[in-house]
């Protein structure tokens, strides 16, 4: 069994053919035949097409509930502490490209991506009551560059090896990887609850052409990273659990039966629930140009995850992870 708080988590959304090269915790779990490695959330360009992400790519209601339980357990002893976002999140961007230069991301585009994150999390893509400053700010700490045809074109099959080799920093550092993820898959992310058990695999992966100016039709404004960083900070998709309670565990995001595609303004897939579908929310699957908002509830939830899993003493996080296994 996995730890009590994570019982029932399925394999992550993408296959890995190199488990022996993963970090020690991951290797130990895989060698032991652990059926419950960490979950992941992906962003798809067309969620209606089958086969883009293997089974398990989206969290089931039970998996989401397990993450929620672990959050509540982690927050319990922190009730006397301030629940607030950090002043800044250090970001290390790992650009993986082909040996002929395909997939190269310039320093300028990397900086544009960081600026996009700061604009999104600062609430500046929306106006009026829809504008929510989450309090999170991102600072570029380093850019690494790797030219490797296999890593670039088959990142998913080698992600444990790649991330254990390149990962920098602790739970507070966002490691952002760019590569070719193939058709349909825009990006994927780990959850903060899983950091302690496998630190080297923590981070966000996005298709290189989704960064600003990347040329990915409908998805080249940088909001794949915005979306995946939301998962890295603990948010679920807005359509988590569909029209069924508790939805995405955020009170001020309306219920939504299924992911949005394009920008279907005015859509209402849960007519017995309050509000129209949050198609403009960064945690949906809408086109980049349609995404403009986080809610205040999402901001609060991200701050809770930060305090519980990313902003504390790494030694305490390690102890928590060890106790959960």
* Catalytic annotation, residues: 228
Q: Is residue 109 within 8 Å of 213, Cβ to Cβ?
A: yes
Rounded to whole angstroms, the Cα distance separating 176 from 89 reads: 12
Q: How many CB atoms within 10 Å of residue 283?
A: 27
Q: Is 40 left (phi over 0), alpha (psi -120 to 50) or beta?
A: beta
Q: Is residue 156 within 8 Å of 181, Cβ to Cβ?
A: yes
Rounded to whole angstroms, the Cα distance separating 71 from 140 reads: 28
Rounded to whole angstroms, the Cα distance separating 67 from 303 reads: 15
- Residue indicated by tokens 């700490």: 141
Residues shown for the chain: 325
Max CA pair span of the chain: 54
Joined together, the tokens standing for residue 192 give 């903060």
- Residue indicated by tokens 């859509």: 267
Q: Rounded to the nearest 10 degrees, how much is the dihedral formed by the CA atoms of 154, 191, 115, 227?
A: 80
**CA proximity to 191, closest of 102, 66, 77:** 66
Enumerate the β-bridge partners of residue 42.
188
Q: Is residue 260 within 8 Å of 279, Cβ to Cβ?
A: yes
Q: How far is CA 296 from the centre of its chain?
A: 19
């Amino acid at each position: 069994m996995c730890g009590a708080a994570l019982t029932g988590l399925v394999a992550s959304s993408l296959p890995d053919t190199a488990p022996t090269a993963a970090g020690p915790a991951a290797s130990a779990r895989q060698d032991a035949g652990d059926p419950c490695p960490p979950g992941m959330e992906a962003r798809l360009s067309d969620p209606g097409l089958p086969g883009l992400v293997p089974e398990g790519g989206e969290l089931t209601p039970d998996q989401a509930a397990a993450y929620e339980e672990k959050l509540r357990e982690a927050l319990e002893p922190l009730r006397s502490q301030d629940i607030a976002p950090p002043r800044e999140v250090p970001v290390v961007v790992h650009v993986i490209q082909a040996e002929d230069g395909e997939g190269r991301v310039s320093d300028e585009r990397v900086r544009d991506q960081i600026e996009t994150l700061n604009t999104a999390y600062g609430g500046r893509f929306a106006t009026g009551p829809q504008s929510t400053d989450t309090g999170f700010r991102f600072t570029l700490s380093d850019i690494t560059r790797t030219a490797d045809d296999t890593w670039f074109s088959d990142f998913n099959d080698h992600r444990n090896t790649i991330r254990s080799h390149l990962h920098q920093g602790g739970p507070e550092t966002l490691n952002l990887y760019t590569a070719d993820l193939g058709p349909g898959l825009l990006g994927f992310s780990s959850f903060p609850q899983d950091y302690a058990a496998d630190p080297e695999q923590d981070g966000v992966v996005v298709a290189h052409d989704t960064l600003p100016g990347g040329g990915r039709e409908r998805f080249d404004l940088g909001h794949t990273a915005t979306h995946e960083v939301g998962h890295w900070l603990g948010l679920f998709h807005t359509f988590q659990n569909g029209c069924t309670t508790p939805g995405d565990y955020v009170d001020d995001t309306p219920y939504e039966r299924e992911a949005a595609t394009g920008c279907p303004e005015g859509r209402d897939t849960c007519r017995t629930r309050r509000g129209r579908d949050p198609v403009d929310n960064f945690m949906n699957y809408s086109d980049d140009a349609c995404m403009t908002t986080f809610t205040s509830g999402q901001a609060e939830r991200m701050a809770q995850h930060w305090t519980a899993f990313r902003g504390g003493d790494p030694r305490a996080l390690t102890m928590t992870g060890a106790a959960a296994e």
